[in-house]
Amino acid sequence: MNQHELLLQGRYYHIFNRGINSCNLFRKADNYNYFLELYDKHISPIADTYAWVLMPNHFHLMVRIKEVEEIHNNPVHHGLTEFAMDYLWSSYLTCISLQPTNLQRERVMGWFDNQANFKLMHSQKPGYFGDNDLFPPFSSPFPYRLPASTLALAT
């Protein structure tokens, strides 16, 4: 039976993984770049990246899981809508709905104490990360493609 640890918002994590039997995950530059592209697509929207390293048979990531309001306000930050509640393709409306869902709605509402606070936090328009200057505006942690000559490739 697989057991999964719940990653909590606002917390920092050192995430690492390796190939089965230490087999290589990355054999050529394209493998590294593909991993980084998928990481940017799937992880960057929900976690801030502070450090990372990709080795031929394993990787390490230092991340902080974003707050829910940061995730829901991402379309606002990127200029797709003026308010989080107006964007149809996020879990915001599911959070405030009474319809059955697989979303952990009660847990999310618990983070805000109640639905009124949830709505209030999402209606405010401070900087993307609030008034906390410790976190810069959202940008990809991978602003470039890795040149093949910089990678130690396994044969």
- In a 13 Å sphere around the CA of 75, the CA atoms on its Cβ side amount to 15
pTM of the model: 0.58
pLDDT in tens, 90-116: 999 999 999 998 888 998 888 888 899
61-76 pLDDT, tens digit each: 999 999 887 788 888 8
Of 19, 13, 5, 20, the closest CA to residue 46 belongs to 13
Distance from C-alpha of 139 to C-alpha of 141, rounded to nearest angstrom: 6
